Structure 1
Amino acid sequence: MRIKEVKAWWVRIPIETARQHRSDFGQVRTFDAAILRITTDDGIVGWGEGKNAAGSAGNYGALVHMINHEIGPMLVGRDPRDIMPIWEMQYNGTRAESAADQGHAMPQIARRGMSVAAISAVDIALWDIFGKSAGQPVWRLLGGRKKEAMPAYASGGWASVDEIGEQLTSYLKAGGFTGVKMRVGAMDGPPHISAARVRAAREAIGPDVDLMVDAHGTYTVADAKRFIQLVSDQNLAWFEEPVIADDKTGMAEVRAAGNVPIAAGESEATRFAFRDLAVLRSADIFQPDPAFCGGISEAMRIGTIASAFNLRFAPHLWAGAPCFFAGLHVCAASPASFVIEYSLGANPMIHDLVEEKVEVKDGMIAIPDRPGLGFTISERFLEAHAQG
């Protein structure tokens, strides 16, 4: 079996005005991603996804060009089941052969950002192919699943102090969730405004629902510490991305300043960044995004680091179907995982891009048991929203 064709598209799906929201990323009017299809010479198709932009919007022209004109030609003719060698080949670039011989990484200079986003898309698609060729779900190839279904939390929460309680309560009713996440930080201005929204949220949902907050890395260390003090009595399940990912020592300072678990990682790429988070004691919960961190392969390695440091693992899954399903399989196989992110904002990249119905029932989401990643892309829908 050999790779015959590699094709990526920038898929941009408009979000209807009534379902749009505003956060620190601005008004979110579209859902964008790089969607990848890899086809083998015996007709097996694998689907992947790469992300290089904030939130769900952004420009994917450069990433798609990189996949189609730089990465793709290197993959044609290779056995798609050589997933790890292909990952290292892309990461190490022209020194891939030397790195393989010497037994350690020798990455190219452009080893982060868009490069790893491209690697992520390829890796997810290759695992999809591997599962389909073996007639097994990907979680089986990763070592097995620990549960047939996993708890999910509702992710959203942009409403004002007067409306946040009603918004989060509607989430709880939507899928029987027992946990919700809301956004705080720069979208509100000073920390006391976010704190007031958190208090209103807690009052509305009650003391027994897990409440998480996400600042998208928009606080300074001082403001993040102030926010923790202001909400210290609200029993937060975690405080996500309090400061920018580049300030890991600052994040460790925030973590040490309060009693709220710190979650981070959606802005990080590769196991090396998560190693630093662990060593610096910057986070309690790792949140790699499979479409940005390096794919399924790297997400599993990151999960191993979490397990080794007795940390927890809850991937960032505000994404399209290939990334979301990849996260389901990784969580099913990782000993450190405990919960699934399920977006309650408008997400046509999951719900409209695939033929299957993706839903949460009684707060749980089923782990797919079909070969590969377990979804069917609506190619008609994809083509209707592909750019260029």
Structure 2
Amino acid sequence: LQIKQSTSTRLASCESLVTLRQFRPFLERHAVDVAIIDVPWNGFSQAVQIGRLAEACEINIAPHNYYSHLADLHSLHLCAVLPNVRIMEIDIDDVPWKGTLVTRPPVVRDGHVWLTDAPGWGADIDERVLREHPWPRPGDAGGRLFYGMDPGQMTARPR
């Protein structure tokens, strides 16, 4: 709360929180102007609960998302069910095959993302594309870890 009170700049935060219980004090104390919700990490139903609590506290939300188009669709569905969405993040600087990972990637037109009328999340995962671009797990032979590290560079090694 001290940070918010010390500046006239609108404060967006909470993207690393994962439970409603963690969000509650920030929302009830109005410690943020925009609560950032990470839908893939929170899960859709919990993200809705967090968004509803934020709306009851008269605080806007912004889905945090730098993942795949499937995660874009999760965030887009959250935006469709909550009245207090300020903005939705989409990562456009990604691998060149990102658009082929799902059968119907989100459509961005005139600064808006359009929800499809397809069932479920609005698209299916293209399993062929997944097989063409495997993501090595930590500890896999020759597999790289986050930040370009290989297993030999880690302090704690996976079992």
TM-score range, shorter chain: 0.7 to 0.9
Deviation string, structure 1 residues 246-305 (Cα, Å, up to 9, x no partner): xxxxxx222111111111122110111110211333211111111112x11000000111
Match for residue 56 of structure 2?
308
How much has 1:339 moved relative to structure 2? 2.2
More helix by share: 1
Matches of 2:113 and 2:62, distance apart in 1? 14
**Matches of 2:57 and 2:95, distance apart in 1:** 34
C-alpha distance in structure 1 between counterparts of 2:83 and 2:96, whole Å:
30
Equivalent-residue separation in structure 1 for 2:25 and 2:90 (angstroms): 27
Alignment CA distance shift 1:306-1:348 (3 Å): farther
**In structure 2, the residue corresponding to 1:341 is in which secondary structure?**
coil
Aligned match of 2:15 in 234, 246, 266?
A: 266
Pick closer, same or farther for the CA change 1:273–1:265 going to 2, 3 Å. same
Does residue 283 in structure 1 map to residue 32 in structure 2?
yes
Residues in 1 aligned to 2:95 and 2:84: alpha-carbon distance in whole angstroms = 27
Offset at residue 374 of structure 1 (A): 0.5
Please list, as runs of the form range in 1=range in 2, the aligned pairs for 1:106-255 lying within 5 A after superposition. Answer: 252-255=1-4
Q: Which residue of 2 aligns with 1:201?
A: none
* Root-mean-square deviation over aligned CA pairs: 1.8
Q: Does the C-alpha gap of structure 1 residues 349 and 258 become closer, same or farther in structure 2, counting only changes over 3 Å?
A: farther
* 2:6 paired with 1:257: yes
Offset, 1:376: 2.2
- Pick one of 308, 321, 343 that aligns with 2:69: 321
Tell me the CA shift for residue 350 of structure 1: 4.2
**Runs of 4 or more consecutive aligned structure 1 residues displaced over 3 Å after TM superposition:** 347-350
Among 324, 330, 335, the residue aligned to 2:83: 335
Stretches of structure 1 lacking an aligned partner (at least 5 in a row): 1-251
Letter aligned with residue 6 of structure 2: A
Per-residue deviation, 1:359: 3.6
Gaps of 5+ in 2: 141-159
Q: Hey, what does 1:364 align to over in structure 2?
A: 112
Residue 101 (structure 2) pairs with residue 353 (structure 1)? yes
Q: Cα offset for 1:347?
A: 4.7
User: Helix, strand or coil for the counterpart of 1:375?
Assistant: coil
Alpha-carbon distance change, 267 to 350 in structure 1, aligned in 2, over 3 angstroms: farther
* Matched residue, 2:125: 377
Which letter maps to 1:299?
A
The percentage of counterpart residues that share the same residue type is 29
- Shift of the alpha carbon at 1:358? 3.1
Report the CA distance shift for 1:347/1:286 in structure 2 as closer, same or farther (over 3 A): farther
Q: Tell me how far apart the structure 1 counterparts of residues 40 and 11 of structure 2 sit (CA, whole Å).
A: 22
Q: Deviation digits for residues 134-158 of structure 1, max 9, x if unmatched?
A: xxxxxxxxxxxxxxxxxxxxxxxxx
Task: Please report how far the alpha carbon of residue 379 of structure 1 lies from its aligned counterpart in structure 2 after TM superposition.
Answer: 0.6
Please, what TM-score do these two structures have when normalized by structure 1?
0.33
The answer to whether the Cα contact below 8 Å between 1:319 and 1:350 also exists between their aligned partners in 2 is: no
1:298 aligns with 2:46: yes
Q: Structure 1 residues 276 and 336 mapped into 2: Cα distance closer, same or farther (>3 Å)?
A: same
Which has a greater percent of strand? Answer: 1
**What's the TM-score, normalizing by structure 2?**
0.77
Q: For the Cα contact (< 8 Å) 1:319–1:349, is it kept in 2?
A: no
Instruction: Decide whether the 8 Å contact of 1:266 with 1:289 is kept in 2.
Output: yes
| Structure of higher CA gyration radius | 1
> 2: distance between equivalents of 1:357 and 1:301?
26
